[in-house]
């Protein structure tokens, strides 16, 4: 998949596009930023027949109306106009899918009551597997063997058995606890273990179902790490990156720690020599929403302030084709991205949330995070643990020590930068982006100062990354 363009589709009131050029993608976005809409757009493109499979009507006219009603649910609720999805420049309903094999996993679509049936599990997801019955008949024991090998690498004390006589039901066995069960799984095993097993079964079945005649393979994973501990997450990422090197992988997550972990591991693994059949090219992007407008920026393409500064220095020369209003747009965009990166670094959330943190700094208050990347929410959890211990001895001091370990006052320079930038945002960035032709709205001194402050802000955030999340 080279490009994906959406307009008036679910969360996206305005056009938005992803330029992938066939590369794999890691996307971070807060809940509500539009990640699920991207996931649904890919699903509708490649699995429209499955989505329409439950429709039934007495007449062709009624069936057509049901199809229209189904599609209308994808329209943006503000505009309520017909949506548009384009894959590689072609409308989704005209796009030729025959050369694609697509697998989509979102644990939000997973519901496990008391029992796991392998056939039902594979059917419950959107997986381009030609015949699930045949896969189960021919490869059930191989799936069992490979999943158990992977669970052993997970250092999990459990293993599985697939009972072909019981319609391919899955038994989970924990020898260390002398537990073996096919039913009431949630009674005996925690959610993390069950989800880890489900993911391994799905990924193993997908690996065994790859069709060599399909040139383009796509694996889409949407927030698929629910309840997995850090060690299992690391192993799972490594497994996906290495075992699906011949596949365009698209990972969507709202978990910033997971995003950073995946990015670190991708960079670590792809630094190794590649096999002939593998493509280790990855794009890293952020999806965010501000003022009801959804925006995407790729970390691979984030413009450095140095570049803006150089282009500004060329204004009016024979080698420059850049206009002054374009410089203003780039300054404003860079400021917005730096604020977003700052909020993401603290794992606070959206750009709107970051403005609250900025206000705290401006008012001389501390921001709360520690060198492990934990934030105020984690501080509350830690305080609750101390209180639940019910140990009265030196309680005030222990609580204060924990608070102090999160408190960070080292923002004096940052406060000064933000104070001045907010002023220049009103004086320089906004008029340059929305000014009226013929009316002077800025001075060269103001734009030069804006660039200088952006440079300082960029350096400050880079220092924060180096000191607090080194290695990520």
When the pLDDT of each residue in the chain is averaged and rounded to a whole number, the result is 80
| Residue 380 CB coordination number (10 Å) | 11
Which range among 24-28, 163-167, 275-279, 343-347 shows the weakest confidence by mean pLDDT?
275-279
Q: What is the pLDDT confidence band of residue 375, given thresholds at 50, 70 and 90? A: low
Q: Is the model more confident about 138 or about 323? A: 138
pLDDT at 448 over 80: no
Q: Are 411 and 360 in contact (CB under 8 A)?
A: no
Which SS3 state, helix, strand or coil, does residue 468 take? helix
Beta bridge partners, 159, equal: 173
What pLDDT score does 349 carry?
A: 42
Facing residues of 160 across strands?
A: 172
Please name the residue ranges forming H helices in 154-282: 185-188, 191-209, 230-243, 256-269
C-alpha distances out from residue 446 to 109, 405, 455, Å: 52, 39, 14
Residue 376's pLDDT is what? 67
Instruction: Kindly indicate the confidence band of residue 293, based on its pLDDT and cuts at 50, 70 and 90.
Output: confident
Q: Is the dihedral of CA 295, 300, 301, 307 positive or negative?
A: positive
Q: Summarize the confidence of residues 407-427 as an average pLDDT.
A: 56
DSSP letter string, 142-171: HHHHHHHHHHHHTT-SEEEEEEGGGTTEEE
Residue 444 — very low, low, confident or very high, per pLDDT cuts 50/70/90? low
CA dist., res. 270 & res. 24, Å (int): 12
pLDDT at residue 60, as a whole number: 86
Q: What angle do CA 302, 39, 256 make, to 5 degrees?
A: 50
Q: Region 353-374: what's the mean pLDDT?
A: 58
- The C-alpha atoms of residue 128 and residue 276 are separated, in whole angstroms, by 25
Residues 6+ apart with CB under 8 A from 190: 227
Q: Specify the long-range contacts of residues 80-85, CB closer than 8 Å, at least 24 apart.
A: 81/8, 82/8, 83/6, 83/7, 83/8, 83/9, 83/10, 84/5, 84/6, 84/7, 84/8, 84/9, 85/4, 85/5, 85/6, 85/9, 85/41, 85/44, 85/45
CA distances from 380 to 342, 384, 387 (A): 21, 6, 11
Higher pLDDT, 259 or 449: 259
Query: Confidence class of residue 370 from pLDDT cuts 50, 70 and 90?
Result: low
């Amino acid at each position: 998949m080279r490009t994906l363009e959406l307009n008036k589709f679910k969360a996206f009131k305005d056009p938005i596009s992803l330029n992938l050029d066939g590369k794999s993608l890691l996307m971070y976005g807060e809940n509500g930023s539009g990640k699920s809409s991207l996931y649904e757009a890919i699903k509708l493109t490649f699995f429209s027949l499955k989505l329409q499979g439950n429709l039934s009507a007495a007449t062709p006219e009624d069936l057509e109306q049901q199809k229209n009603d189904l599609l209308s649910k994808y329209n943006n609720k503000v505009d309520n106009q017909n949506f548009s999805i384009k894959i590689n420049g072609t409308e989704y309903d005209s796009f030729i899918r025959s050369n694609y094999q697509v697998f989509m996993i979102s644990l939000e679509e997973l519901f496990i009551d008391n029992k796991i049936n392998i056939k039902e599990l594979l059917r419950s997801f959107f997986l381009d597997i030609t015949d699930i019955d045949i896969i189960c008949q021919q490869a059930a024991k191989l799936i069992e063997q490979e999943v158990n090998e992977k669970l052993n690498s997970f250092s999990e004390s459990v293993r599985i058995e697939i009972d072909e006589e019981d319609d391919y039901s899955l038994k989970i066995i924990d020898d260390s606890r002398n537990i073996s069960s096919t039913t009431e799984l949630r009674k005996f095993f925690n959610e993390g273990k069950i989800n880890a097993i489900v993911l391994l079964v799905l990924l193993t079945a997908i690996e065994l179902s790859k069709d060599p005649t399909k040139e383009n393979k796509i694996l889409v994973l949407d927030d698929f790490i629910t309840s997995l501990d850090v060690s299992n997450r690391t192993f799972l990422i490594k497994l996906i990156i290495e075992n699906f090197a011949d596949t365009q992988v698209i990972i969507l997550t709202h978990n910033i720690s997971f995003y950073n972990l995946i990015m670190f591991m991708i960079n670590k693994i792809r630094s190794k020599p590649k096999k002939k059949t593998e493509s280790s090219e990855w794009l890293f992007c952020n999806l965010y929403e501000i003022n009801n407008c959804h925006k995407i920026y790729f970390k691979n393409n984030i413009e450095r302030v140095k570049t803006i500064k150089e282009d500004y220095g060329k204004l009016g020369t024979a080698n420059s084709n850049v206009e002054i209003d374009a410089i203003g747009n780039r300054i404003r965009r860079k400021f917005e991205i730096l604020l977003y990166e700052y909020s993401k670094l603290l794992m606070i959330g959206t750009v709107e949330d970051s403005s609250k943190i900025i206000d705290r700094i401006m008012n001389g208050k501390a921001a709360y995070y520690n060198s492990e990347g934990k934030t105020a929410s984690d501080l509350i959890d830690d305080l609750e643990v101390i209180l639940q211990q019910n140990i009265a001895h030196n309680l005030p001091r222990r609580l204060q020590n924990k608070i102090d370990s999160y408190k960070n006052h080292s923002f004096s320079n940052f406060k000064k930068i933000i104070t001045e930038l907010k002023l220049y945002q009103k004086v320089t960035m906004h008029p340059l982006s929305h000014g009226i032709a013929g009316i002077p709205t800025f001075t060269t001194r103001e734009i030069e100062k804006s660039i200088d402050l952006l440079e300082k802000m960029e350096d400050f955030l880079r220092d924060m990354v180096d000191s607090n999340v080194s290695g990520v």
